[in-house]
A = this chain, B = another copy of it.
Amino acid sequence: MSQLFLSPGVPDPACRLRVVAPQTPPGRVAMWLGALLDTLPTPALTIDRTTAHRNAERMRERCRALGVRLRPHVKTHKTLEGGLLATGGTRRGIAVSTLAEARFFADGGFDDILLAYPVPTARLEECAGLARRLDAFHVLLDRPEALASLRQRPLGHGKRWLVWLKLDCGNGRAGVRPTDPAALELAQAIANDAPEEVTLVGVYAHCGNTYGCSGADTIQAIARTTTNAVLSFVAAHPIPEMSQLTELHPGNYIFYDLQQTQLGSCQPQDVAIRVLTRVIGHYAHRGQLLVDCGWAALSLHGAGAGQGPQGCAAIDGHPELRLVGLTQEHGLLEHAGGQMDFGRFPVGSVLALIPYHACATAAMHPVYYVHEEGKVVALWHPVRGW
């Protein structure tokens, strides 16, 4: 069976974490269950449950319609709750980017886990431990040396290393190019050299280069190119394990973000993530509001390309405002063109920031406040570390 990682949510197949335990002692935040959103201590990362559920269901429908399996990537949210939502409650078939995530989700009852990262041969014993305790723990590689490392550490107990060949179909990060003769040699070596120790599961590609795009058409073109490159490679080489495109591994789509909206992957109403922040000062002589959200709660993602802080977030419901300053714990807001109406934003009032990159913003928060009808209905605790 051949596999292709093709990402409507354009996730980055990575985020390595060392810590497997939830990062926030639940007792410290459990008091906020049932609280009104605007009473939360700020900055606070919030997730609209209705929107996240709709995003999850739509992706399942999309995959059903495409006739491919959905293997959700959990690296954006890094939570068991998000994994449950994305797998429709089955806890089976996810992609992770770090060993810490793999352990965390395995401890949480998940199985059929793909470590969607070049197999860390320096930590092979950890990989072997996961392969032994799980029904299916998949790794990927793009080097013969990595295959040799796996063969030097057979799993025994009737277990085999489940290996995907990582292809680089234009993303220019990890992977062997499908046009490179080494790709076929490596695929054949994985498939045939030690069938009792290693099994070729399929091939894997990532459309990370869509990050550089604008517009759904361009993204679809890249996705099509990637798909064709993989399928041509598969068709050209008679390795029975490779038949058709069978899986999609999106990750960002549960939350979406400003970047995905700009890329055309989603509509503004599909973005479930916000960072709530309070106005903590009025500075009339500069026409600026000071808010209690800095890069420590938002990240600096989106500030590139000369955009500065205003690229890092949009202010929900206030297109007239723009973020003009970000330090560790402070944000500065200005009116985009006219006069700041300070009366509309009293000190203590709460604004909701729509982050540019959900993966980056989520990584800054020890807890996510999941809400419905204006109240906190759940607390999600992400894993961290590597």
A314 to B290, CA, bound (A): 33
Contact mask A161-185 → B, CB, 8 Å, 1/0? 0000000100011100100100000
Residues on B with beta carbons closer than 8 Å to the beta carbon of A363: 296, 364
With A296-B14, A385-B366 as given contacts, are A290 and B173 in contact (CB-CB < 8 Å)?
yes
Residues on B with beta carbons closer than 8 Å to the beta carbon of A19: 23-25, 28, 366
Residues on B with beta carbons closer than 8 Å to the beta carbon of A299: 299-300
A294 to B299, CA, bound (A): 14
With A98-B329, A300-B301, A347-B143 as given contacts, are A286 and B12 in contact (CB-CB < 8 Å)?
no
Check A15 for interface membership: any CB of B closer than 8 A.
yes
Q: Do A386 and B41 touch across chains, with their CB atoms under 8 A apart?
A: yes
A97-142 interface (Cβ within 8 A of B)? 97-98, 117-118, 120-123, 142
Residue of B nearest to A145 (CB): B347
This chain: how many copies in the complex? 2
With A28-B18, A299-B300, A347-B145 as given contacts, are A330 and B292 in contact (CB-CB < 8 Å)?
no
Q: Do A172 and B329 touch across chains, with their CB atoms under 8 A apart?
A: no
A347 to B168, CA, bound (A): 18
Q: Do A14 and B327 touch across chains, with their CB atoms under 8 A apart?
A: yes
Q: Do A12 and B329 touch across chains, with their CB atoms under 8 A apart?
A: yes
Residues on B with beta carbons closer than 8 Å to the beta carbon of A21: 25, 28
Q: Do B142 and A281 touch across chains, with their CB atoms under 8 A apart?
A: yes
Q: How far is the CB of A81 from chain B (nearest CB, A)?
A: 18
A360 to B299, CA, bound (A): 9
A333-386 interface (Cβ within 8 A of B)? 347-348, 359-360, 363-367, 384-386
Check A297 for interface membership: any CB of B closer than 8 A.
yes
The count of residues in chain A whose C-beta lies closer than 8 Å to any C-beta of chain B is 74
Q: Do B328 and A15 touch across chains, with their CB atoms under 8 A apart?
A: yes
Q: Do B297 and A300 touch across chains, with their CB atoms under 8 A apart?
A: no
Q: Do B23 and A18 touch across chains, with their CB atoms under 8 A apart?
A: no
Contact mask A190-216 → B, CB, 8 Å, 1/0? 000000000000000000100000000
Not counting A16-B292, A300-B304, a sample of 4 additional A-B residue pairs whose C-beta atoms are within 8 angstroms of each other reads: A21-B25, A121-B348, A306-B306, A366-B384
A-B pairs with beta carbons under 8 Å apart, 28 shown: A14-B330, A16-B296, A16-B297, A16-B329, A18-B28, A18-B29, A19-B24, A20-B28, A23-B384, A28-B385, A41-B123, A42-B122, A42-B386, A118-B280, A121-B347, A122-B278, A145-B347, A173-B290, A173-B325, A174-B280, A174-B281, A295-B301, A297-B386, A300-B304, A303-B303, A303-B304, A363-B364, A367-B385
